[in-house]
Amino acid sequence: MEQTNHTFPLLGDAFPEMEVQTTHGVKKLPEDYKGKWLVLFSHPGDFTPVCTTEFVAFAQHYEQFKEINADLLGLSVDQVFAHIKWHEWIEDNLKVDIPFPIIADNLGTVSNKLGLLHPGKGSNTVRAVYVVDPNGIIRLIIYYPQEIGRSVDEIVRAVKALQVSDNEGVATPENWPNNSLLGDRVIVPPATDVKMAEERLKNYECYDWWFCHKER
């Protein structure tokens, strides 16, 4: 099978500068979101069942994202009028308002820059999530196949975990703050020399010198 090379930004890269058309007007990325966390998520297409359930969930979690200084921004290769009609359909039939803008990437410009076009699926975009920090740096990327819907709860959790890690200089365990071993405790960065390893055991609760944790 012929291998196709795809290029897109990686974790730690600056989010590409671009101007996009959205259902809330033209926006400049990442400039318009400076000082906030941006959750950019793409969907395969408007008026599709899985995407509709996801948009409802993102709308229902909108206030949670706002509370953690995160803005939502949707994207697909549909035209802006299709986004507007889909938004209206969701509001009329499911009684849920979509409060965040949706990028109309009908030319595929944004999707090509971000690696969002699904290989072998024509012009449909993958289910991807880009989390961009207040400095415009990409901190998290998640890709899903078309057949699998996302967990919006997990995206909220991941943004919160990134913020805790940045603010406190720690790592977070699996499923934090509900880890089966540590609960809501956080992990202390591993020691980098012998002296620090000895101090870790004295100053923190540890399973070993390389696995220490603490309360926040």
Considering the entire predicted model, what is its pTM?
0.92
Q: Is the dihedral of CA 64, 67, 70, 72 positive or negative?
A: positive
Q: What is the pLDDT of residue 199?
A: 93
Structural domain boundaries in the chain: 18-150, 169-216
Residue ranges of alpha helices (H) inside 100-182 are 109-114, 152-168
CA distance 192 to 124: 46
Same fold, 18-150 and 169-216: no
State yes or no: is 206 an active-site residue: no
- Annotated catalytic residue, options 39, 51, 73, 188: 51
**Residue 18, number of CB atoms within 10 A of its CB:** 15
Cβ-contact 123, 117 below 8 angstroms: yes
Q: Is the dihedral of CA 23, 29, 30, 34 positive or negative?
A: negative
Q: What is the pLDDT of residue 118?
A: 66
| CA triple 97-100-103, angle to 5 deg | 120
CA distance 95 to 56: 9
Provide the CATH number for the domain formed by 18-150 in this structure.
Answer: 3.40.30.10
Which strand ranges, in their side-by-side order, compose the sheet holding 25-29? 25-29, 18-22, 102-104, 70-76, 37-42, 127-132, 138-144
CA distance 128 to 147: 13
Q: Are strands 37-42 and 70-76 parallel, antiparallel or unpaired?
A: parallel
CATH of region 169-216, choose from 3.30.465.10, 3.30.1020.10, 3.40.50.300, 1.10.1060.10: 3.30.1020.10
pLDDT tens digit at each of 216 positions of the chain: 344 455 789 999 999 999 999 999 999 999 999 999 999 999 988 999 999 999 999 999 999 999 999 999 999 988 999 999 999 999 999 999 999 999 999 888 999 899 888 666 556 778 999 999 999 999 999 999 888 999 999 999 999 999 999 999 999 999 999 999 999 999 999 899 999 999 999 999 999 999 999 999
Q: What is the pLDDT of residue 190?
A: 87
Q: What is the pLDDT of residue 25?
A: 96
